[in-house]
Structure 1
Amino acid sequence: MHAPKFAASRSFHQELKRRTAAYFAEAGKTTTGGKSLFFKALLLTSAFVGVYLHLVFWTPPALIGMLEAVVLGLLGAAIGFNVMHDGAHGSFSKRKWMNQFASFTLNVLGGNSFMWNAKHNLIHHMYTNVEGVDDDLDAQPWLRLSPEQPRRLLHRFQHLYFWFFYALLFIAWIFFMDYQKYFKGKIGDIAIKKMTASDEGVFWGFKALHLILFVVLPIWTVGFVGWLVGFLLFAAVAGFTLSIVFQLAHTVEQTSFVVPHETTRKIEDEWAIHQIRTTANFATDSKLISWLVGGLNFQVEHHLFPNISHVHYPALNKIIRQMCTEFNVEYNEYPKMRYAVASHVAHLRELGRR
């Protein structure tokens, strides 16, 4: 498949980059995370390791163990949002090795940073909500996420059962989807670059490490049934939390879904305006939500400046809003998270009916 092309005009994006650069110059700040992000990363990873060790080696009573498995899932998602995500985008630190170290938390949790970079950084961030290209829209046959996808009878009820499939995401991701991409050499119809020997070693080495840490060792210490219940709780909570936060950014009523021209493969908007129209924010006034989800409730800011750490998104929000007013570009935002969830459910219901 030939990759789509955006409109040649980049006046909006050029002016936006100029104003953003001016802000950082005047404020005397770097675009990376800084000490506050390092402290958050240390806090989250230490809590995750502590809960994991208590679950696996101290064998708490069943109810406490189940509660700790839920907490472990939430901590795993929080590490993904706050540590891995910034690291994978190169915005966690000015030091390359530290960004790589942060991104490798995904490998420890069972995913793969190479596949994530190809799927998320290169494809999703470039071709957001472009049907047939953005792999994040592909949940067929179980879910219909965009208007151009075929409608099946079961989709009529997808606004009721999507919770279950979101809870399965993490398990499907680490045990199936990474391997599918590896052996096909593609993400959807887009070929990925060839893995180096180092990439191969990281892929298989960390997959083996994950199986030891999260399957073999827990079965040995707590038994198969105890491990199965705990792992399913952990994976379901992590999967659902990751899914719902990312879905609220793009598959809601306000966002656009784009189909390139059939022959020219062109997209009408320039890249930056395309990102704004296909992305939505939620609950940006909530410091608690912003802290927990690593600023991913500021998805518009993140998509326009993925290489800038999420700690700067509230400041960028003001610049981008002003630009949108001047250029008459609609800015999508839900003031409360529950409004965004309701819009996502309504979007699924509508796609399931027509």
Structure 2
Amino acid sequence: MQTPKFTTHTPSFHAELKKRINDYFTEKGISPAGNYKLWTKGLILVVGFIALYVHVTFFTPASMWLAWGECIILGCLIAGIGFNIMHDGAHGSFSNSPVLNKAAAVTLGVLGGSHFMWNMKHNVIHHAYTNVDGVDDDIDAKPFLRMASTQKRYKMHKYQHLYFWFFYCWLHAFWIFFSDYKKYFTKKIGDIPLKKMSFKDHFYFWFHKVLSYCMFLVVPSITVGVVPAIVGFMTATLAGGFILSIVFQLAHTVEHTSFPMPDVVTGKLEDEWAVHQLKTTANFATKNKAISWYVGGLNFQVEHHLFPKISHIHYPAISKIIKKACEEYNVTYIEYKYMTTAVASHIAFLKEMGKA
């Protein structure tokens, strides 16, 4: 399908939101980028990851269960670095420094992914056309899962609300061993063509792939043996993959989110961009500080989609402004009080999508 267009409205709800948020930062005299709170958290995650990697790789515990537990924690740290450092860096909000933002963003390469592919898939496509089937690659899990009513239903989807846990665990492994390569060689993300890659883009794609494989498979194979290395890596990547999957799915594929499709004649979506984002995005557990700290504010997904260039450390404050504006403009603000209720809603959503 062709890239859809958004409807424009006067007065613009998006323009009003931007004005209120800009006024907030001006009045407070603060930058919308990250600050010492984010950098301290980033340092904790990176140091923790390096220390645990070194310990389990070069000073492997004699106890198999302890080593296995360390690999699970390593997977949790991989997800945490992705949520807090890579994600803010990729959106240019980790710091006011372009150099620091780039350094934060390319941590994805060390963890096995391609920053170039992520930027196109997430920043360019997903953030613009959230939940638009045929464009947003994040809701394309065919044939294993049916994430929209416009997608083809298979008999196995009747049970997808039971077996989705298994497939979510494989996200990270699928991403670094298959998905990136599919995009690279087909030069497309779904049906959307990739922008032309420069020599530097090609070089870093392959450099980071080799670096991550050496780090997670080759070196551990030398220090602990091939089989333990594979078991340890799979333990870490399955743990990290599940966490990454569930956090992102709770933001868009729950009972109350919409899956708008463009008009077949005009190619236009019904709403203006900001309203579209509010209809397709949900928050969860925003009062839980531990969850907010670990997932990099991605439980404030509404705020992130409306203002992706603002660091997640500001989301709790600006969420109050956005909620008030939604009330005034009669726009629904979707939020689940607890993570457990959001998970239950996601399961209910999958069950509904699995029905004939």
For Structure 1 versus Structure 2, the TM-score category normalised by the shorter chain is over 0.9
Please give the alpha-carbon distance, in whole angstroms, between the structure 1 residues aligned to 2:72 and 2:88.
24
SS at match of 1:36: helix
1:42 aligned partner, one-letter code = L
Residue 3 (1) aligns with residue 3 (2): yes
Q: Residue 54 of structure 1 aligns with which residue? A: 55
CA displacement 1:1-44 (0-9 Å, x = unmatched)? 42100001161000110000000000011010111111111110
Please give the alpha-carbon distance, in whole angstroms, between the structure 2 residues aligned to 1:263 and 1:230.
52
Please give the alpha-carbon distance, in whole angstroms, between the structure 2 residues aligned to 1:225 and 1:51.
19
Q: Residue 20 of structure 2 aligns with which residue? A: 19
The number of aligned residues is: 354
Residue 35 (1) aligns with residue 44 (2): no
CA displacement 1:168-206 (0-9 Å, x = unmatched)? 111000000000000011000000101111111110111
- Match for residue 110 of structure 2 among 108, 120, 137: 108
CA displacement 1:142-163 (0-9 Å, x = unmatched)? 0001111011000000001000
The 4+ residue runs of structure 1 with deviation greater than 6 A are none
Gap runs ≥5 in structure 2: none
Q: Residue 174 of structure 1 aligns with which residue? A: 176
SS at match of 1:353: coil
1:171 aligned partner, one-letter code = A
Please give the alpha-carbon distance, in whole angstroms, between the structure 2 residues aligned to 1:16 and 1:276.
12
* Percent of aligned pairs sharing the same letter: 57
TM-score (norm 2): 0.99
Please give the alpha-carbon distance, in whole angstroms, between the structure 2 residues aligned to 1:323 and 1:269.
17
1:263 shift after superposition: 2.2
Please give the alpha-carbon distance, in whole angstroms, between the structure 1 residues aligned to 2:214 and 2:152.
40
- Match for residue 101 of structure 2 among 94, 99, 102: 99
Please give the alpha-carbon distance, in whole angstroms, between the structure 2 residues aligned to 1:339 and 1:134.
25
Q: Residue 309 of structure 1 aligns with which residue? A: 311
1:242 shift after superposition: 0.1
TM-score (norm 1): 0.99
Please give the alpha-carbon distance, in whole angstroms, between the structure 2 residues aligned to 1:196 and 1:34.
32
Please give the alpha-carbon distance, in whole angstroms, between the structure 1 residues aligned to 2:229 and 2:161.
31
SS at match of 2:354: helix
1:224 shift after superposition: 1.4
- Match for residue 185 of structure 2 among 158, 183, 204: 183
1:124 shift after superposition: 0.1
Gap runs ≥5 in structure 1: none
SS at match of 2:112: coil
- Match for residue 149 of structure 1 among 151, 155, 158: 151
Residue 89 (1) aligns with residue 91 (2): yes
Please give the alpha-carbon distance, in whole angstroms, between the structure 2 residues aligned to 1:212 and 1:15.
49
Q: CA RMSD in A?
A: 0.7
Please give the alpha-carbon distance, in whole angstroms, between the structure 1 residues aligned to 2:318 and 2:194.
32
- Match for residue 341 of structure 1 among 340, 343, 348: 343
Q: Residue 277 of structure 2 aligns with which residue? A: 275
Q: Residue 206 of structure 2 aligns with which residue? A: 204
